[in-house]
Chains A and B, each alone.
Chain A
Amino acid sequence: MAIDPSQVRRFAHGSRVPGWDDAVDLTKDPAVVPDPATTPVPEALRAEIEAHMAKYPDPRSASIPALHAVQRWHGWCSPTAIEQAACVMRLTPAYMTSVATFYDMFDTVPTGEHTIYVCTNISCSLMGADAVYAEMLEAAGGDPRFNVRGFECLGACDIAPMASVNGEYVGPLTGDDCKTIVGELLEGREVLPGKQLRKRPRADTLPMGEQGS
Chain B
Amino acid sequence: MKLLFYEDIDHPDLNTLKVYEETGGYKSLRQALKMEPEDVLTELQASGVRGRGGAGFAMGKKVSFLPKGSMDKYLVCNADESEPGTFKDRELMQKNPHLLIEGMIIAAWAAGINRSFIYIRGEYVHQADILDAALAEAREEGYIGERILGSDHTLDIVVHRGAGAYICGEETALLDSLEGKRGNPRLKPPFPALQGLYKGPTLINNVETLMNVPHIVRMGGEAFAKIGTETSTGTKVVSVSGCVRRPGNYEIPLGIPSRELIYDLAGGPPEGRKVKAWFPGGSSAPVLPGTDEMLDLPYDFDSLAKAGSMLGSGAIIVIDDSIPIVDVALKTAKFYRHESCGKCTPCREGTNWTVKMLERIDSGEATPMDLDIMASVQEQIIGNCLCVLGDAMAMPIGSMIKHFREEFEAHIDARREENGLGAAIPQVNRGRHAGPGPMREPTGVDPTAAVA
Could you list which residues of chain A lie within 8 angstroms of chain B, going by C-beta atoms? 55-58, 60-65, 67-68, 98-99, 102-106, 117, 121-123, 125-127, 151-160, 164, 167-169, 198, 201-213
List 6 A-B residue pairs with CB atoms under 8 Å apart, sorted by A's residue number: A102-B182, A123-B241, A153-B86, A155-B81, A203-B250, A212-B245
Are B161 and A169 in contact, CB atoms less than 8 angstroms apart? no
Are B248 and A155 in contact, CB atoms less than 8 angstroms apart? no
Interface residues on B, range: 35 or more
Give B182's nearest chain A residue, CB to CB. Answer: A102
Contacting A122 at CB < 8 Å: which of B72, B94, B269, B317?
B317
Give B5's nearest chain A residue, CB to CB. Answer: A202
Are A122 and B332 in contact, CB atoms less than 8 angstroms apart? yes
Tell me if B158 counts as interface (CB < 8 A to partner A).
Answer: yes
Within 8 A of A (CB), among B109-134: 115, 121-126
| Chain B hits for A207, CB < 8 A | 246
Contacting A68 at CB < 8 Å: which of B163, B180, B245?
B163
- With A153-B83, A157-B239 known as contacts, the answer to whether A209 contacts B246 (CB < 8 A) is yes
| Chain B hits for A155, CB < 8 A | 81-82, 86-87, 89-90, 121, 123-124
Give A156's nearest chain B residue, CB to CB. Answer: B87
Are B84 and A212 in contact, CB atoms less than 8 angstroms apart? no
Tell me which of B158, B163, B166 has the highest count of chain A C-beta atoms within 10 A of its own C-beta.
B163
Give A71's nearest chain B residue, CB to CB. Answer: B163
Chain A proximity of B214: nearest CB distance (Å): 20
Within 8 A of A (CB), among B233-266: 239, 241-250, 265-266
Tell me if B85 counts as interface (CB < 8 A to partner A).
Answer: yes
Q: Considering the complex of A and B, which 4 residue pairs feature the smallest CB-CB distances, nearest first? A: A203-B248, A157-B241, A104-B164, A103-B163
Tell me if B355 counts as interface (CB < 8 A to partner A).
Answer: no
Are B250 and A204 in contact, CB atoms less than 8 angstroms apart? yes
Tell me if B13 counts as interface (CB < 8 A to partner A).
Answer: no
Tell me which of B87, B91, B177 has the highest count of chain A C-beta atoms within 10 A of its own C-beta.
B87
- With A57-B198, A152-B82 known as contacts, the answer to whether A213 contacts B163 (CB < 8 A) is no
| Chain A hits for B91, CB < 8 A | 202
Contacting B328 at CB < 8 Å: which of A117, A122, A164?
A122
Instruction: Please measure, in the bound complex, the distance between the C-alpha atom of A201 and the C-alpha atom of B265, giving whole angstroms.
Output: 15
Tell me if B432 counts as interface (CB < 8 A to partner A).
Answer: no
Instruction: Please measure, in the bound complex, the distance between the C-alpha atom of A98 and the C-alpha atom of B198, giving whole angstroms.
Output: 20
- With A123-B242, A202-B9 known as contacts, the answer to whether A103 contacts B84 (CB < 8 A) is no
Are B246 and A208 in contact, CB atoms less than 8 angstroms apart? yes
- With A61-B179, A155-B124, A204-B265 known as contacts, the answer to whether A126 contacts B160 (CB < 8 A) is no
Map CB proximity to A onto B180-198 as digits: 1 under 8 Å, 0 otherwise: 1111000000000000001
Instruction: Please measure, in the bound complex, the distance between the C-alpha atom of A158 and the C-alpha atom of B86, giving whole angstroms.
Output: 9
Tell me if B270 counts as interface (CB < 8 A to partner A).
Answer: yes
Instruction: Please measure, in the bound complex, the distance between the C-alpha atom of A155 and the C-alpha atom of B123, giving whole angstroms.
Output: 9
Are A160 and B247 in contact, CB atoms less than 8 angstroms apart? yes
Instruction: Please measure, in the bound complex, the distance between the C-alpha atom of A168 and the C-alpha atom of B179, giving whole angstroms.
Output: 28
Instruction: Please measure, in the bound complex, the distance between the C-alpha atom of A54 and the C-alpha atom of B279, giving whole angstroms.
Output: 43
| Chain A hits for B90, CB < 8 A | 155-156
Are A201 and B84 in contact, CB atoms less than 8 angstroms apart? no
Chain B proximity of A89: nearest CB distance (Å): 8
Are A212 and B126 in contact, CB atoms less than 8 angstroms apart? no
Tell me if B283 counts as interface (CB < 8 A to partner A).
Answer: yes
Chain A proximity of B84: nearest CB distance (Å): 4
Tell me if B320 counts as interface (CB < 8 A to partner A).
Answer: yes
Q: A58-B180, A103-B165, A211-B270 are in contact. List 13 more A-B contacts (CB 8 A).
A: A60-B179, A61-B179, A68-B122, A103-B164, A106-B163, A122-B242, A122-B283, A126-B323, A153-B283, A157-B239, A203-B249, A208-B246, A211-B246
| Chain A hits for B164, CB < 8 A | 103-106, 151
| Chain B hits for A105, CB < 8 A | 122-123, 163-164
- With A167-B125, A209-B246 known as contacts, the answer to whether A104 contacts B163 (CB < 8 A) is yes
Chain B proximity of A198: nearest CB distance (Å): 6
| Chain A hits for B239, CB < 8 A | 157-158
